[in-house]
Amino acid sequence: DYLDKFAINKAESAEDAKRVLETQNIVYLPLSAFAPQAETMIGWKNRYGLRTPINTVVRALNPGQATVGIRGSFHPGFQQLHAEVEHEIGQTAHAVVSFKGQSGESEYNPKVSQTVWLSQTSGVTSHYWTEQMLSE
């Protein structure tokens, strides 16, 4: 279990997560603990054979009011879209970094160049990271 390996506590509720964050600065809050219906809807992938829009919605949830968020998406153009949506809906109290993830997950691949999008109070900006920049 990776949580144990990295000494990260698993919260049972949003309130529990808040309490743990005050002393640990990191906590894992499973979707089932704060949005069980969303977890059920994510399971629809198994029923229908494809991801539904709920996957995108869940990525934007911020129950802990974190000041930085990370969004990985597979499809071209979605990285910019995710950053712009955060700004348009007024989620400007935190910064969101959006990039092309591995299979749509928030896993950055340093072996490829890509544009990283940043949404923050001042607006949405893009930053092109080359493969060489990351290896230096």
Q: Domain residues of the chain, as ranges? A: 7-65, 66-136
Residue type for position 12:
E
Is 0.85 topped by the overall pTM? Answer: no
Six-digit token pair at 75? Answer: 């499809």
CA distances from 99 to 3, 52, 113, 131 (A): 25, 20, 11, 14
CB atoms near residue 7 (< 10 Å): 8
Strand duo 123-129 + 114-120: pairing: antiparallel
Six-digit token pair at 31? Answer: 């979707």
Question: How does pLDDT run along the chain (136 residues), one tens digit per residue?
Answer: 899 999 999 999 999 999 999 999 899 999 999 999 999 999 988 888 887 788 778 877 888 877 877 877 777 777 888 788 878 877 666 677 777 776 667 777 777 778 888 888 888 888 888 876 555 5
